[in-house]
A and B are shown apart, each in its own frame.
Chain A
């Protein structure tokens, strides 16, 4: 970072030659972001020491924190969490790097479609996909085991989705791999072909170039993805809840969930547990910042050239490999989801009238469907727009300015992701109720937009930051030397180069908002309810098939937005 920053600061950055103005605007951003992020978190943490019963005067103590240490099975749950996290990353990381490289740097046929299939996998609803895998891999009635038994005459099939490896598979087969491919492909695309050419001239093979040149230079994006993976490892619980129950398999997040579900909810111990995650993350974030600051990661300079590496004889095997993975994690689960929407009871094929359109009718006939659809579109588009704008500014300040508190801004952007959704939701509820200005907007879609953007700040900011690190500053300098203003430079040079990642962040912001339940459930009213809450309604009623219909509609909305984003991104952004 230092090389980049020094260059920029000495010759002028966003606020060229006006250090006072730069400091003022950066401080303002820090104050606003810090307030929205820290206020709810501080309230939650302070409240975790509150031990008085409802209606009694406040009384503070350590009971909540002590209770968490005495929580039965916590050590086992932490062990399970780390085991799952490590195994998932060891498997998915190499696969994702290889696939993203093939998609971004080679002449693989149909790579645009294949890349989009990984996006689709990320858009799929967790619950429906997990139910689909149960249908295939249930030890008793799973289709795969049935086929195995029929073929071999064995009494039992070899597969069980209700196992450690079943949970690993459900994660990898859903979005653990997909999200990495989504995030890595644009970063690989930003690589200058001259790096590969230089490596080949020095006698390195294509694979050697990937391992020795490309991967090291992508440290910023790798560390971001790794940290996000660690955070997700602590927070993922839907799959563990469903598949872990029969084998009594608990993880850290199911413990937090258990505490919040108690009566009365044990918010204190839940916060204590969540704060521990934050404490684990802080040194990792510091290491990540140090790693990315120590070296120069610029790959896009004024001499940038995009060039696809010919795969030669490896083209067909590579195509078969990527297609197989893409089909396995996108088309197969999508088939489960769609099938679920047309079944009377998901997974029951041998009942009378097994197939029906009633689930769709039930959703369309629901009196709040149209309003929920409208609210979802408004909220998600608003969240996407705000996310792109706000996260770009935060990332820009972190990477391109000399603002003394830029590290603090970067640190703060990690905090919301370390807090479980339900706790962050409560913190934001308190924030909006405590401040009179927001109280006037309470229950409106506008507050939902703010809440969902705050809760998705980490991934978006860090993604833009990592891509910004790849961008050489001489492009901006050259533009300004020719007399272009900052705005023109951004519009003509920086914007188009960052365009693919900005669109990706917009799409992620859209889907995060469209799916968000924990924040929206606490802030919405009947006039601002969204499709995610309608989906929750159906799930609570046990109408999983109708819930799958709503999830499919959200998926279609997101796919539409993603298609437009990709169309624009491929037209404006860098192509290999």
Chain B
């Protein structure tokens, strides 16, 4: 009886999968095969992407396996290095890159004004990639530029603002994020430096948006906060308890510690009244114009937004999530929750706010 049930179940699974396969095949646009053939004929795809072996593997590993005839030229660097380089290359008539992947602020600030991006929607021909129902808050909500057509954030990781080392500070001791201003926490907080672009600035901006400018000014100026640009050091400090409170703790770094069996004492503090936001980190991209491999770029852009591309992002990027709801979750603590309204804190509309927050940080942080 048991065996019969098992066989029936297996048959059902095989049938369901074959239907799904057929549906997928049917979901492919009619010129998809021609696109694949053209991309393979080009034989190369050039991506200017984020730094780090983790991102490199998450963004191109699956594509290289799927299309071995297309060599992926991947240059990983931070926006600080990548954007001035691309801008100058284009000024000199060098158009080496097909796709730019990285945090939105730098490319929107320096590449968009020089007209470096082509509109994305005409390139997205795979229905699965733009299926509104599969993206949190709809597909369009991922566009970072004002025109909603040039730069798209596929990452759906929430901004986890505050963590505590529960061995030293009971999470219940902090009822709301504003409690951080209590003088008893002075000298016990570590924060990724908000004077530069990154998660630390994002957290400072959210504090400003939630509690106002006067609050964040006072907090940064008076709480003897330890600011660091070294994300690993920040994580190690809270894990060891050297500083029991951490703002903008990088979840990918904490994951490294958790994998080795330590850091379980580090707990996220919840505050439902604090502004909830999505911080795409490096998980956003645009298609560059005058690209050398237009078909390979089109193929990649479609597949990057597909279940396959986003599954790789969620599984291999070291604790990042996708805005797609039909792929695995990379970091459950930073996953998007239904019913909650998140703001996108890195859109072009927010650039001025971010720059103002960075300026305030430079002004008030004691030096």
* Neighbour of B113 across the interface among A56, A429, A524, CB < 8 A: A56
Contact check, A72 vs B367: say whether CB atoms are below 8 A apart: yes
Partner of A348 from the list B76, B227, B252, B262 (CB cut-off 8 Å) is B262
Out of A72, A248, A264, A353, which one reaches B106, CB within 8 Å? A264
> Does A111 have its Cβ within 8 Å of any Cβ on chain B?
no
A537: contacting residue among B51, B96, B111, B197, CB under 8 A: B51
Interface assignment of A317: CB less than 8 Å from any CB of chain B: no
Known A245-B228, A439-B92, A521-B81: A540·B52 in contact at CB below 8 Å: yes
Partner of B80, one of A53, A242, A265: A265
Across-interface contacts of A344 in B (CB, < 8 A): 260
A571 to B159, CA, bound (A): 62
Closest to B90 in A: A433
Report whether A351 and B88 are in contact in the complex, using a CB–CB cutoff of 8 Å: no
Interface residues of A in 345-373 (CB under 8 A from B): 345, 347-348, 351-353, 366
Bound-state CA distance A141–B240 (Å) is 9
Please give me the residue from chain B that is nearest to A430 by CB atom. Answer: B88
Binary per-residue interface labels of chain A (461-498) against chain B in the complex, 1 for a CB within 8 Å, 0 otherwise? 00000000000000000000000000000000000000
User: Which chain B residues numbered 167 to 202 have a C-beta less than 8 Å away from chain A?
Assistant: 195-197
Given A351-B260, A542-B232, check contact A443 B96 (CB 8 Å).
Answer: yes
CA separation between A349 and B85, bound complex, in Å? 42
Which residues 66-96 of B sit at the A interface, judged by CB distance below 8 A? 72-81, 84-85, 87-89, 91-92, 94, 96
Q: What residues of chain B lie closer than 8 Å to A534, measured between beta carbons?
A: 53
Please tell me if the beta carbons of A262 and B257 are within 8 angstroms of each other in the complex. no
Asked if B318 CB lies within 8 Å of chain A CBs, one says yes
Looking at B119-127, B133-141, B265-273, B355-363, the stretch in contact with chain A turns out to be B355-363
A353 engages B260 (CB within 8 Å): yes
| B208 within 8 Å of A (CB atoms) | no
Contact B109 A264 (CB under 8 A): yes
With the chains together, A77 CA to B261 CA distance in Å? Answer: 40
Residue A544 at the B interface, CB < 8 A?
yes
The residue that B195 contacts in the complex, of A258, A366, A521, A522, with Cβ under 8 A, is A258
Given contact pairs A537-B76, A542-B232, A265 touches B56 in the complex (Cβ within 8 A): no
Report yes or no: B56 in contact with A527, Cβ–Cβ below 8 A. no
CB proximity of A131 to chain B, nearest CB, Å? 9
The docked-state distance in angstroms from the alpha carbon of A442 to that of B92 is: 12
Chain A residues, Cβ within 8 Å of B38: none
**Contact, CB under 8 Å: A525 / B75:** yes
Q: Report the nearest A residue to B106, measured CB to CB.
A: A263
| Contact, CB under 8 Å: A352 / B232 | no
Contacting residue for A542 out of B84, B197, B231, B354, CB 8 A: B231
Given contacts A245-B233, A261-B229, A263-B358, is CB(A526)–CB(B92) below 8 Å?
A: no
Answer whether residue A308 sits at the interface, using C-beta atoms and an 8 A cutoff.
no
Cα distance A364–B298 in the bound complex, in angstroms: 32
A260 on interface, CB distance cutoff 8 Å: yes
Which residues of A have CB within 8 Å of B260? 344-345, 348, 351-353
Q: Are B367 and A248 touching (Cβ within 8 A)?
A: yes
Closest chain A CB from B179 CB (angstroms): 23
**Residues A525 and B318 in contact, CB atoms below 8 Å apart:** no
Contact B80 A245 (CB under 8 A): no
A295 adjacent to chain B (CB < 8 Å): no
Q: Encode A243-278 as 1/0 by CB contact (under 8 A) with B.
A: 001101010000000101111110100000000000
- Contact across chains for A429 and B196 when beta carbons are under 8 A apart: no
Q: Is A54 an interface residue (CB 8 A)?
A: yes
* A182 to B84 Cα, complex, angstroms: 38
Chain A nearest CB from B367 CB (Å) reads 3
Task: Give every chain B residue within 8 A of A525 (Cβ-Cβ).
Answer: 73, 75, 96
Nearest-Cβ distance from residue B101 to partner chain A, whole angstroms: 14
Once the chains bind, are B81 and A538 in contact (CB under 8 Å)? no
Task: Say yes or no: A73 contacts B109, CB within 8 Å.
Answer: no
Q: Determine the distance from Cα of A429 to Cα of B112 in the docked complex, in whole angstroms.
A: 21
Residue B105 at the chain A interface, CB threshold 8 Å = yes
Q: Which residues of the other chain, B, contact A443 by a CB distance below 8 angstroms? A: 96
- B366 contacts the other chain (CB 8 A): yes
Of B87, B92, B109, B235, chain A has the most CB atoms within 10 Å of the CB of B92
Q: Counting CB contacts under 8 A, is B110 at the interface?
A: yes
CA distance A468 to B30 in the complex (A): 74
Is B115's beta carbon under 8 Å from chain A? Answer: yes
Minimum Cβ distance to chain A for residue B55 (Å): 8
Are B196 and A544 touching (Cβ within 8 A)? Answer: no
Q: Cβ of B256 < 8 Å from any Cβ of A?
A: yes
A76 interface contact, C-beta 8 A = yes
CB-based contact B105/A263 at 8 Å = yes
Listed by A's residue number, 22 A-B pairs whose Cβ atoms lie within 8 Å are A54-B109, A54-B114, A55-B114, A55-B115, A140-B242, A241-B229, A262-B195, A262-B197, A263-B106, A265-B80, A345-B256, A351-B261, A352-B261, A526-B74, A538-B52, A539-B232, A540-B51, A540-B78, A541-B53, A541-B252, A541-B318, A542-B252
Instruction: Please list the 5 inter-chain residue pairs (A to B) with the smallest Cβ-Cβ separation, ordered nearest first.
Output: A73-B367, A55-B113, A263-B197, A433-B92, A540-B52
Q: Hey, which bits of chain A sit against chain B, CB under 8 A?
A: 53-56, 72-73, 76-77, 140-141, 241-242, 245-246, 248, 250, 258, 260-265, 267, 344-345, 347-348, 351-353, 366, 426, 429-430, 433-434, 439, 442-443, 521-522, 524-527, 529, 533-534, 536-544, 546
